[in-house]
Amino acid sequence: MNKVTKNSSFWAGQIVQGVVIGTLLTMAVVGLINASSYGQIFRYQGF
Amino acid sequence: MIEFWYYWVSAAVSVVIFWNLPQGLKFPFLGIVSFGFIASFEPLTVAMMLAIALMVYFLHNRADQKPLFRLATKFLITVVAAYLFYFKYMPALASLFANGYDFANLLLPMGISYFSFKLIHYVLERSRGMLPQHSFWEYFAWVFFVPIFTAGPIQRFDLFMNGRSSTWDNQMAWDGLTRIAIGLIKKFVLGAICLFVLESLNYGSTGRLLNNLEDTSPLRVILFLCFCYLFVYMDFSGYTDIAIGTGRLFGLRIMENFNFPIFAPNIGNLWKRWHMSLASWCQSYIYMPTLGVSRSPYVAVFASFLVMGLWHAASWNWVAWGLYNAAGVAIYQKWTMTARKKKWRIIKTKAYSFAAYPLTFLFFAGSFAFTITHGEHGLYAALRILFRCFGIDI
């Protein structure tokens, strides 16, 4: 086995990274789904 | 457009079909699907855009003799500029005259500013012989490519043609998906956080900060402008990331529009990092020609930013936004030139370098006083906000 894969801190790092990215992505997708009722007070002008 | 579920479904289905089509059918497919998608929102205005886009392509193609070609170039630039002017600026101009024709019901066509600037770029570069060989369908797909149609970037045609992949590549798809994910996180998570802070700084609802400006501390007003900047940055650059990522899924390279402007060390550098496609368009077609005629970089800077302001909207706020940024760039240019000439040591000190980043950030954040008050509040409200940052009430 690879030395790195034995290291528990490596896996802890991977899990934390996965949880953070997963949470951010879930929040982003939920935000996208709610976008039609999203209350934006400002919008970039010129679109 | 990304808020519609059918944007995502049609993008996913189109990617699958696109890569299974023979090479010769890829761009006709991309162009027709894009055009159909946009036309489903505003069929009449998009029909007018189609007529102009066809005129631009075919008139230049037919005018193969030199004097005729030059005439066609001038004519096409006039047509595209007149189209933009009529829809974007006539309502504002007419409102200045009490007896003017009523333009109040004139609807601004979707993506008109990006569309017009892209076509002007195409006509000018084609007249200079700077565009690569291309087919009508490649041109058509470039004009109407959905992800960049309504919010840019103002994609250069040569980059659209040269940067593309002709075969499917897993790495390319991964890059595209990652970029879309980053864009979604910026727009819907980080942008939402900025919005939450903005709302609390704005006493919970739109306009309340403006109503209570005299009782609001300068620090709160400065923070409010800083979060306006951060929110627009997250929202706009997030959208650009989604457009770039979607483009990658079709093997296309869409131009970058932002390069961490919040870390710019000066206002000149900031404009190489913020809305880069608009800034480079203005550099090519406003700054350089004006510099050639006037021989003054300051006149060229002011002309460029005036166009950039008016490109956003026909209002005094956007004109003032342009002049504010132009003044910043011009003063910075003069300052660095003088400092170098007179060998001032201050520009080489660590303190100067350290202070330059937050000062640039704050200066640009100040420009959002003009953009957030565009519309119902007007220029006076923008000036009230800016002066309040220094504790002055006007």
Q: What is the pLDDT of residues B1-55, one digit of tens each?
A: 777 788 899 999 999 999 999 989 999 999 999 999 999 988 888 999 999 999 9
Distances (CA, A) of B103 to B41, B87, B110, B366, B374: 21, 9, 17, 32, 19
For residue B372, the chain A residues in CB contact (below 8 A) are 42
For residue A28, the chain B residues in CB contact (below 8 A) are 181, 184-185, 187-189
CA distance B159 to chain A (A): 22
Q: How many CB atoms lie within 10 A of CB B128?
A: 9
Are B338 and B203 spatial neighbours (Cβ–Cβ below 8 Å)?
no
B312 touches chain A (CB under 8 A): yes
Task: Give the pLDDT confidence of B215-269 residue by residue, as tens digits.
Answer: 889 999 999 999 999 999 999 999 999 999 999 999 999 999 999 999 999 999 9
> Which one of A29, A32, A42 has the shortest CB-CB distance to B228?
A42
**With bands split at pLDDT 50, 70 and 90, how would you rate the model's confidence at B288?**
very high
**Has the ipTM of the complex gone over 0.85?**
no
List the Cα angle B47/B251/B161 in 5-degree steps: 65
Task: Give the pLDDT confidence of B344-377 residue by residue, as tens digits.
Answer: 888 788 888 889 999 999 999 999 999 888 777 7
A24 touches chain B (CB under 8 A): yes
A2 touches chain B (CB under 8 A): no
CA distance A16 to chain B (A): 17
CA distance B53 to chain A (A): 19
B170-185 and B218-249 helices cross at what angle (nearest 10)? 160
* Whether residue A43 has pLDDT greater than 60: no
Question: What is the rounded CA–CA span in Å between residue B28 and residue B39?
Answer: 16
Average pLDDT over residues B104-110: 73
Give which of B1, B2, B3 to mutate to test A binding, by max A Cβ within 10 Å. B3
Average pLDDT over residues A10-38: 84
Phi and psi of B154, rounded to 5°?
-80, 85
